[in-house]
Structures are given as structure tokens and as C-alpha cells.
Amino acid sequence: MTITVPSGLFEQAHAAMQRAYAPFSRYHVGCSILSTDGRIYVGCNVENSCFALGHCAEAGAVSQMIVSGSKQIASVLVIANNDTPCTPCGGCRQLIREFASDDAPIYCANQHGVVSVHRLDELLPYSFGPNHLGASS
Ligand code: THU
């Protein structure tokens, strides 16, 4: 099956992955987010000697999107530097969910290319979100 990925999403996540700071795990992750207003934001994982303070790649990309003024995620691509396609960790699924609709595609890539794509609600079913708190956004 051929997976069609929005233009530039893989390349930009791959470039971000190469800038990861991951001296402890040596697991380099890149994330690219396409916002609904057509912009691409990227992040990489940034680890810390105090291990608990490390940041996932998705967190960096979401922060970049919000500070730049985009409001909504259209799709996400996550890539890591080995052969196993990177799926977002549980915390990052929740982070993405804050700004994405249930049907947002999450592309999972290894160092060679995109291997699978999943709807957000497939990765995070029955999720908790702003609607539970009565928030519009
Ligand atoms: N990591 C991410 O950046 N995103 C994920 O969704 C999975 C895990 C990072 C965190 C840590 O720096 C390294 O991968 C190993 O867990």
C-alpha cells in the first residue's frame, strides 16, 4: 500500500531528527506538524542529564506551532533513526489530541520512509480533551 504524505512533511521531520539532542538514549526523533492553515512546524527530542527533564520531539513541534499563532493540527509525522517506525508516546498522543481532530492522520516513519498512518482516535480512543472541561479552544 502506498501512503500519500503531505508535501515536505517527511523531509522536514527527517531534518529535525538529525538535530536531536539524544546522547543518553541515542534514539533520535523528529516530528513535523502540518497545521490547518498550511504551515509546517518541527521539533526534535531534547534530552537532559536529569533524565526526567527530557522533551519529546512532538512537544517541541507543538510549542513551535502555538507560539507561531497556528491553532489546529491537520496532520503529524513522527520519525526515529532506526528501522522501527516511531509511534508517538502516550503523553504525546494526549498533547496532539489537544489541537487535532479525531480523524487527523498520524504518519509513523522509520529512517527510510513512512511505514504506517493512523487516525488520532485509533491511537488514543475515548480520549479526554477540552470538551470535557466545556472549553471551545
Ligand atoms: N521520544 C520522542 O521524542 N517522542 C516519542 O513519541 C517517543 C519518545 C524520545 C524521548 C527520548 O528522548 C527518546 O525518544 C527515548 O525515549
Average pLDDT, the chain: 97
CB atoms within 10 A of CB 89: 14
The residue ranges of every structural domain in the chain are 9-132
pLDDT at residue 136 above 80?
Answer: no
Q: With 0.95 as the threshold, say if the pTM is over it.
A: yes
Distance in Å, CA 109 to ligand 1 centroid: 14
CATH class of 9-132: alpha beta
Residue 116 pairs in a beta bridge with: 108
Element (H, E) at 126: none
Q: Which atom of ligand 1 is nearest to the CA of 28?
A: 14
Among 19, 21, 45, the mutation site with the greatest number of ligand 1 atoms within 8 A of its Cβ is 45
pLDDT at residue 137 above 60?
Answer: no
Element (H, E) at 122: helix 120-123
Per cent of the chain over pLDDT 70 is 99
DSSP 31-69: EEEEETTS-EEEEE-B--SSGGG-B-HHHHHHHHHHHHT
pLDDT digits (tens, 9 = 90+) for 80-108: 999 999 999 999 999 999 999 999 999 99
Stronger pLDDT, 136 or 59, i.e. the higher one:
59
